[in-house]
Structure formats: C-alpha cells, structure tokens
Amino acid sequence: MTASPEMAVGSQTLDFDSLVVLLEQVFQRNGTSAEVAAILARNCAGAERDGAHSHGVFRIPGYVSTLASGWVNGKAVPVVEDVASGFVRVDAGNGFAQPALAAARDLLVHKARSAGIAVLAIRNSHHFAALWPDVEPFANEGLVALSVVNSMTCVVPHGADRPLFGTNPIAFAAPRAGGEPLVFDLATSAIAHGDVQIAARKGERLPVGMGVDSLGQPTQDPKAILEGGALLPFGGHKGSALSMMVELLAAALTGGNFSFEFDWSNHQGAKTPWTGQLLIVIDPSKAAGQGFAERSEELVRQMHGVGLKRLPGDRRHQQRARSLEQGIELDGQVLAELRELAGG
Amino acid sequence: MTASPEMAVGSQTLDFDSLVVLLEQVFQRNGTSAEVAAILARNCAGAERDGAHSHGVFRIPGYVSTLASGWVNGKAVPVVEDVASGFVRVDAGNGFAQPALAAARDLLVHKARSAGIAVLAIRNSHHFAALWPDVEPFANEGLVALSVVNSMTCVVPHGADRPLFGTNPIAFAAPRAGGEPLVFDLATSAIAHGDVQIAARKGERLPVGMGVDSLGQPTQDPKAILEGGALLPFGGHKGSALSMMVELLAAALTGGNFSFEFDWSNHQGAKTPWTGQLLIVIDPSKAAGQGFAERSEELVRQMHGVGLKRLPGDRRHQQRARSLEQGIELDGQVLAELRELAGG
C-alpha cells in the first residue's frame, strides 16, 4: 500500500486485519489469553480505524502497563449468570469488560428479542476502551442499545469541592434504514480523559471549563489536570446528575465498584478502572407503528433538513470507510514500538 | 390554617388534599373524566407542593386551553397491550400520558420484578407535566426507573440552523437506604420551556446560551425565544445527542409522534405536545452484591464527603416536607382564578 501525498513524513499504513494481528500479538505477549487478545485487539484496532485516536493504539502502553502490574487478569474467564428472563449478570473475574460482554452477548440478544428488553450487568471488570464499539453492533442487528460504564475518581460533582465521579460515559446506538446506525458515546465529564492525555502530550491548552488544578482552581493546562487536578462534568448540574446515574447503574446495579472504591496503589503501573458496566438492549420490533429503522431514518432526514451537517457517529463511519480503502495510517515510531511490544 | 409571617401579602395556603380536590374540579369542569381529573390533579398539586412551580398550578390555564381546543381527549381510556415478558405498550388514545402510565403501571412493575427489567412504551399521548413524578414512585418501591418524553419542536440541534427537537427531558429515580430516593428530571434543552415562560411573565432576562431569537441569533430575552425563537440544547453536542436519543426512544420506539410531526394549527389554544413516552424499570434485587439501596446510600455519603451540599431531588423533598407541614402557599389571585375555573 502506497502512502497518500498528504501523509505526514514517517507515517506508515497498515490494513485493518494486519493491525488486529499485530495487536493480538502485543496483548498475548503481555499477559492475556488468546481469547482476550482477539477481542481487545479488534476493539482497539477498530477505534484506530475509525479515527478515535484517544482509544486506539494510543492506549496500548496503558494496557501493557496495567497487565504488567498484575492489577487486571488478562486471562480471566467471565462467568455468565442467567438471572431472569430479562437480566443477565457477568462476573468478569477481574478481567476486561469486553470479553465479559462477548461471553454474554448471545444470551443478551436472545433475551432482548424474546422479552423485548434485556439488561446485562457486568461487574468486577476493567473497561479501558471506547464505549461505542460495545453498542454499535446491536444496532447493526436491528436492536437499540444503551450502555454506561463508570471509571475512576477524576470528576468533581457539580456543587462539590473535590473529585468523586469517573468520566462515566453513556453510549447509545440505534438502527437506521438508510445508512449506518445512529451512534454516540459521550463522556459525562466535560472532556474525555484520553483527550486530556493527548493534549498534554501535544502541549496544547484546553478550552475553558474542562477542569481544575490540584487546588481546585479552573485551569486550561492539561498537565495541571492530570497532576493532581480533576475534570468537571459537562453541562453543569445536568451532566453531573447523569454522571451520578452512571455510578448507580454501572456500579450499584451490577455489584461493581464505584469509581472511588478501588485502590490500585499497590500496583505500580495500573491504569484500568476496576468497576462495572451496564448494557440495556431493546428490540424495537416490539414497538407499535412503522418500523423503527424507517422512523429513525425520518428523524435523520429532518435533522439534515434543519441544517445539521454531521450526525453523531458520522465522522467515525466516514473515517472507517477511508481506512478500509486506504489503510490505517500510523506514526512510524508508534508502529515500531508496537512491533517491539509484539516481540519484534 | 393561619398565614405564616414571612408570607407575601395576598398569598393563601391550602393543604395538599384541598389543592388536589380543587384541581380535580378544575379538570372535570373543563372536559376530563373523573379518572383523568384525579390523576392530573394529584400530579399538578404534587409539583406545586414540591416547589416545582413551572409544572404546578402555573400549568392549569394551559391544560384548560388545550382541553377547550379539542386537541386532546380528556376522557380518553388508555388501551394497554401486553407485548412480551418485558414490554408493555399503551395507546393513550390522544389523551394524557399520566393516565396511560397509571393504567399500565401494575403490569409494568410485575414484569420488571419478574424479568428484572421492563419497558413501557406510551404513544398517542400528551405530556404537559414534570417527568420526575412518573419515576419517583418506582424508587419508593425499591425499583430503578428511567423515563424520557419528547415534546414539540423548539430546540435547535447542535450544529443545525433551525429548531427540530423538543425540550425532551430525561428523568431518573433510584432508591436509597437512608432517605428519599435520588431523583432527577432534566430537560435536554439548556432551559425548560416552563422556565422561559415564567421568566417572560416576570420580565426577567435569561443567562447566556439558553436560546436564539427568530433570526437564529443568541438572545437573553425570554419573549424573543417564545415569539419565533428557539432554545439551545444543554451542554453543546452532548445534550443534543441525548435529545436525539429521546426522540428515538419516546417516539420511534413507542409509535408516537416525533416532536416535529404533529400539527395543531387547527386547534387554537392547543398547548400539549402529542407525542410519546418511554419508561424503563429495573429491579435491582436481581443485581449481584450488596443491596442496591445501601450502595446508593454509600454513594450519597461520598457525595456529601466531597462537599456536595444538595443532592438531585433534595430541594423538592425539602419543600415537600415544608408544604405538608405548613400548607402550600398560593398567590391569592391565582387561587381565585382556580376557583373560578372550578366553577366556584
């Protein structure tokens, strides 16, 4: 594959499958089982493919570090519990959340189609990835999906002095007749933690209202946020209320830890929040009226009609199409490091 | 009941039950059935009791106007459809949403306790009240509840030029061991429509970022928003994405109208959006680990520990306690108008 003219000097392209294979090697060599490696590699390569750089290969050193610390069990085998006709639980066994979802997925879909709605409560899990890859596949099967995951104390509740909540994202996906599903994944913090890390690395300042420094004072310096500071919720008391809801759904309702409950101080290099995740999947074929996907397509038409240029998820879907055609562009140095981590 | 010293001149107090009876008379005299009157009166008096003035007796002229216009059927009898083990539908019959919820409530709770989660999809309904009264009672029974309702085109999607979405609130309630449930009800618009109306009536200006005038220009004048202008979503693209989700859940998933689909131009005086409402109820006793209410109480302890003075719902619960002790204070003129509307 040849480099396109606008490509930065020193970058290289890989096709999606090659990146997945490389990342599988990285994960397996650094302590995961083959099963876990396959799931995490596909997830991480997918984020990179879709231009979601803060959750792409940028995360690999964090994965390696947290695995090396012994904080997370990369070989955990999730235990699925069939609790009720609409309720599935998974004990992720101190492993990653994505293999837990994968283990329960068929049962969850079966229940959602049968009962009309079903919930998956994952506990004892580490989620270190974007959330939209967890919901989008349901929409591709005609289902509506909502997921929340709590993370680690770094967000000051609106009206409080000190951080308590995690960045606590909410992701949603719904099918659509005329195109890719409608998908969003939003941190209930004013900015995602990964984006703060990327800004710090690039030496960029943040917009106003994203966070506070270690003294609780507003700051636009990403390093001041990362070094003892904290984030603010998006949208004031409303985003803060939603973040509280995420704690209740992802932790209290799963049996997982709240964002403030785990202590990784004995695990130097630990990076992954040890919490819980909730997914709700609804079968819209149970709804009255016209088919859901046609209805969501009508909403899309109307959104375009009032001047909306870009739908939630559009940018990712467009980048995905480009990446699948032209390959995934990676910085040469980053690629060399990945190959090193993969064992050469 | 004697007036308290700090009471404004011309105000009077009523106890809750007396206000309910008065409002029942208002509703019945203005076109609802006794059953619908009982439900709406309790709902509206409850908002007034809890200090939620924008959804209290302030709404009564709107109810009367919309009933007089023939736009809504105040005598509609909801039809409940048992679709699946976790899915209930209600055709509200062009009536109000609250009687539809009341008609399906027992079945919904039964399904949630049995399946672990259940969804109620109300369509062909008018919701003109606060949303938290719909979810809070579930939390009082130990259940977790989430509801969304779409309304009428008045919010410009982030990145668009013209309004499309409704104010599209999201309400959530969760039980708590040590006190009143955790409850919030937030418009996905930057401000609730009722609050704009109240500001306009009082001649007050709004904070920056709430809305635009009829030319799409930012304005702080509530009248400019009401007269051909529009609201903005809260929290930029994130609130906008949530508002889109509300359209999909409350309309596409129920068979109800989107906020832009109904045409009340032939019903002079019509005020109530003719859309849909979705409720999701989860039984947390199906969750792993410690009891949910103890876990949410722990979250509350920690929120207080980081300096949070007021929890979501606190202000309403405190005002409720005061109102139940001291009565509900109403402006004398308002009370006279209510009695007039009640035929007295």
pLDDT band at B7 (very low <50, low <70, confident <90, very high): very low
Do A248 and B184 count as a contact with CB atoms less than 8 A apart? no
Q: For residue range A216-226, what is the model confidence (pLDDT) as tens digits? A: 899 999 999 99
pLDDT band at B9 (very low <50, low <70, confident <90, very high): low
The CATH 1.10.1530.10 domain(s) of chain B lie at 1-68+313-344
The CATH 3.30.60.50 domain(s) of chain A lie at 190-232
**CATH number for the domain formed by residue range(s) A76-188+236-312:** 3.30.1370.60
**What class has domain A1-68+313-344?**
mainly alpha
Residue B164 has pLDDT above 80, yes or no: yes
Residue B160 has pLDDT above 60, yes or no: yes
Give A190's DSSP letter.
S
Q: Chain B contact for A142, CB < 8 A? A: no
Residue B150 has pLDDT above 50, yes or no: yes
Do A253 and B157 count as a contact with CB atoms less than 8 A apart? no
pLDDT band at A183 (very low <50, low <70, confident <90, very high): very high
- By Cβ distance, the residue of B91, B115, B235 closest to A85 is B115
ipTM given for this complex: 0.95
**What is the per-residue pLDDT for A9?**
53
What would the mean pLDDT of A105-126 be, rounded to a whole number?
98
- By Cβ distance, the residue of B85, B258, B292 closest to A299 is B258
Mean pLDDT computed over every residue of chain A: 95
Give how far B23 is from chain A: nearest CA, Å.
Answer: 31
CA–CA dist A252, B289 (Å, integer):
8
The CATH 3.30.1370.60 domain(s) of chain B lie at 77-188+235-312
Q: Chain A contact for B132, CB < 8 A? A: no
Is A147 an annotated catalytic residue? no
Do B144 and A302 count as a contact with CB atoms less than 8 A apart? no
Q: For residue range B67-123, what is the model confidence (pLDDT) as tens digits? A: 999 999 999 999 999 999 999 999 999 999 999 999 999 999 999 999 999 999 999
Q: Which residue has the higher pLDDT, B290 or A13?
A: A13
Q: For residue range A43-95, what is the model confidence (pLDDT) as tens digits? A: 999 999 999 988 999 999 999 999 999 999 999 999 999 999 999 999 999 99
Residue A342 has pLDDT above 70, yes or no: yes
Q: Chain B contact for A284, CB < 8 A? A: yes
Residue A178 has pLDDT above 90, yes or no: no
CA–CA dist A254, A92 (Å, integer):
11
**CATH number for the domain formed by residue range(s) B77-188+235-312:** 3.30.1370.60
Q: For residue range A303-326, what is the model confidence (pLDDT) as tens digits? A: 999 999 999 889 999 999 999 999
Q: Which residues of B touch A234 (CB under 8 A)?
A: 235-236, 238
Q: For residue range B183-224, what is the model confidence (pLDDT) as tens digits? A: 999 999 999 888 898 899 999 999 999 999 999 899 999 999
In CATH terms, the superfamily for domain B190-232 is Hypothetical oxidoreductase yiak; domain 3 (3.30.60.50)
Counted across chains A and B, CB pairs separated by less than 8 A come out at 237
Is A263 an annotated catalytic residue? no
What phi and psi values does residue B71 have, to the nearest 5 degrees?
A: -70, -35
**What is the per-residue pLDDT for B192?**
84
What would the mean pLDDT of A140-147 be, rounded to a whole number?
98
**What is the per-residue pLDDT for B193?**
82
Length of chain A: 344
